[in-house]
Amino acid sequence: MRRRVRDRDVGPTADEGLLRALYSEHGGPLLGYVLRLTGGDRTQAEDVVQETLLRAWKHPEALAGRPVRPWLFTVARNLVVDAHRAKQARPPETGIDEHVMMTASGSDDIDRALESWTVAEALAGLSPPHRAVLVETYYKGRSVAEAAKTLGIPPGTVKSRTYYALRALKLALEERGLAP
């Protein structure tokens, strides 16, 4: 993608590089997700992907310091919901079945997968002692005494680490837009 400026060839800009990188890394999964939301309407799905990437390009500050793919998927889902609402506000051009609206409203497996991915990312960002105590008590369902024995630390330490680990996890999730 080259353009001419005052009779000089100019290579791709940094913005174009960002856009190319976003499309290269996230374009395929994003298109697949939007295809499911739009009930297989490829034209609409491609338009939504293009608009999503355009918004990312216009607002690179929104991508800084956060996972990019969940943000892109959220923007795409919001665009699909907005398009559906706009069609509801005027006489229908073509019918959108109920499945599309149910999928677009968040009851989708992909939304749960993205949420799980974001929680796992937040959990990975915790300190190893905090992560270990949460894995033992919440994910493996162990009691305080069992976790203490497994981790080789006193039960009081398990309790205090769990308290501080949950606070740190809540903060990490809030930064990612998942917790209230």
Q: Which domains does the chain have, with CATH numbers?
A: 1-107 (1.10.1740), 125-180 (1.10.10.10)
pLDDT-derived band at 164 (thresholds 50, 70, 90) equals: very high
Q: What is the pTM of this model?
A: 0.44
Return the percentage of the chain with pLDDT > 70, whole number.
80
pLDDT, position 72: 87
Does the pLDDT value for residue 113 go beyond 70? yes
Distance CA 127, CA 5 (A): 51
pLDDT digits (tens, 9 = 90+) for 167-180: 998 888 888 777 65
Average pLDDT over residues 133-146: 90
Residue 10: pLDDT band (50, 70, 90) is: very low
133 within 8 A of 158, measured Cβ to Cβ: yes
Do 144 and 159 meet the contact criterion of CB atoms below 8 Å apart? yes
* Mean pLDDT to the nearest integer, 36-55: 87
In contact, 34 and 76? CB cutoff 8 Å:
yes
Report the amino acid identity of residue 8. R
Lowest mean pLDDT among 61-65, 69-73, 77-81: 61-65
Considering only CA atoms, give the Rg of the chain: 22
pLDDT attached to residue 22: 79
